[in-house]
Structure 1
Amino acid sequence: MAILEVNNVKKIYTTRFGGNQVQALTDVSFSVEKGEYVAIMGESGSGKTTLLNILAALDKATSGLVLLNGKNLSTLRDSEVSAFRRENLGFVFQDFNLLDNFNIQDNIFLPLVLAGKNYNEMRVRLMPIAENLGIKTILGKYPYEVSGGQKQRAAVARALITNPQLILADEPTGALDSKAAESLLSQFQEINGAGQTILMVTHSTQAASRAKRVLFIKDGQVFHQIYKGSSTNEEMYQKISDTLTVITTGGGKHE
């Protein structure tokens, strides 16, 4: 069953001065099944970030349709957007987006506090997540007291604690060293293995090779896609590298 449907999405920006138009997305269509782990790749300026912002209900498409569990995101009123994101989406950002004046536990609790949950329920939700992510011992510490890898695991816990329909990850390994990145990617695979749907935007071939499917965006549309199937991470890495070479050397569109 498709949890996310993107149909013929186009996005045109009009510059403030001169009225020039910039087409960020031309015609993007794809779907994500419940329980999938999908990575989106493409060169800078290909439209990845614009697409992610539309999927996150941070921006609206000029035309086309985005459905999350059958809900049309373009019909959300401004007053509904924050609650919709909080109830349906979990976010993992490259720069963690943790508040320095909150300890790790309170940062993780924040979306539940905003949703009006009580403390006991928040603790019950947190403990198994903190255990699985290996952050129980740092819950009382502040973001500036822990490593980048620990910050990112805290950000993942914050994304998971609302039981979201979909996790949107934006360059989640971009600020991590290779060891922390490898650890995070292994945890993403475990989280996905437990049934969580993940959509990740990344420049990292290593990160994308862990996904079950990779979509390549070029010139504002889906250029190609690769299914992992029974391929190993190393075989998937090579397939992705080959496709990126085709894209950067100007090869024709794949079907």
Structure 2
Amino acid sequence: MIEEMETIEEFLAQHSADVEEAVRKAAAAEIMPRFRSLAAHEVDQKSGPHDLVTDADRLAEQYLTETLGDLLPGSVVVGEEAVHANPATYDAIRGDAPVWIVDPVDGTRQFVHGDPGFCTLVTLAHRGVPLASWTYAPVPDQFATAVRGQGAYLNGERLTAGSPAPGADLRIAHSHPDYTTDEQKRALLGLRTESVAPRPCGSAGLEYLAIARGELDATAFSWEAAWDHAAGILLVEEAGGAHRTLTGEPFRITGGNALPFTAARDEETARRVVELLNKAA
């Protein structure tokens, strides 16, 4: 089993491109052939009408689970659909083995409705720390990568989140009302104020990418599933951004965060969003 950080860094130096290839192949083989071609029997509900899963989710996760596990012997895979089937598998994120965190189709709701706003997310983490991430939006063929301490890139170009334009409204994507409790809705009401332009989010992975590209100022999310956030949190960090929970602490992929939390283009914006959320909570 790989246990030392230096060894994992060596793995990334040698195999990051192999991970990208695996993600692309999963999308080409299992996701894109079903885009706008899903049959009724290929779509199911998990916890309710807003929580959907498709054959594309299941089969792409199966492909990535097998491929990534082979790439890094001794690692484990925590995938969204596997955790739905067996919640205990989520505990591996807190363990000592390197862990692949996989969201095969982030934005399943959009995917089902034929909207191109979905992506595949993969993160390699160790002892609760995201070390590398891969974000792939197959329709526009946008591939973003981040390695801790080495920056964030989109199709090979360095990403810099920058700071919000002086005097402009803060553009904030927040949890969709369909996925929030009454208490969380109250906290998010803090964004309904002067100089803030809030809107419901789409795919979490693509919202994080928008921050890293300097196209969105912040997010405000009310759930903490690692497969939705680990890749994007690292991408934003490596593009110069920041993330904070309701108590002002950094977001932890291992859970136990004070929610909602924010990721933002810079530290000042992150603290401003937390302030707004706390005022209404």
TM-score by length of 1: 0.30
The structure, 1 or 2, with the larger RCO (C-alpha pairs under 8 Å, 6+ apart) is: 1
